[in-house]
Amino acid sequence: MSNAEIIRAHYAASDAGDLAGMLAPLADSVRWTEAAGFPYAGTYVGPQAVAEHVFERIQAEWDDYTLTIDEVVDGGDTVVGIGTYSGTYRETGRFFAARVAHVWRLAEGRVTGFEQFTDTELVNRAIRPA
């Protein structure tokens, strides 16, 4: 399986709501960085930290949170996913949609690094009270 195929499989698991499948390609020491200003901003080390601080919080706080990937750019050991986030924040009932780019770094078929780039202001508008 190529590195781009590994990332496509992660996105397919995300589409299916399969957390175990999403975490499967992550190395034990993966460094996962959510953009500054994003509600889950920070760098998390290890699959369990990613699950707890990112995926579980998204599931608990949003309705219909979706990542639609338009393109996966195969750069060998670096793969880029480009798409759109969308969802409705439960507490405010506000919807958002924002473009996103994910930069994935892989070694020996495992994800060793991830970095997210998105318009965090669009997300935060949905979260802020009126």
In the chain, alpha helices (H):
3-16, 19-23, 47-50, 56-61, 120-127
Phi, psi of 117 (to 5 degrees): -130, 125
User: What class has domain 3-127?
Assistant: alpha beta
Tell me the residue type at 128: R
Question: The pTM is what?
Answer: 0.95
pLDDT digits (tens, 9 = 90+) for 93-129: 999 999 999 999 999 999 999 999 999 999 999 999 8
Domain ranges of the chain: 3-127
Rounded Cα gap, residues 14 and 4, in angstroms = 15
pLDDT digits (tens, 9 = 90+) for 17-73: 999 999 999 999 999 999 999 999 999 999 999 999 999 999 999 999 999 999 999
Asked if 81 and 68 count as a contact pair (C-beta separation under 8 A), the reply is no
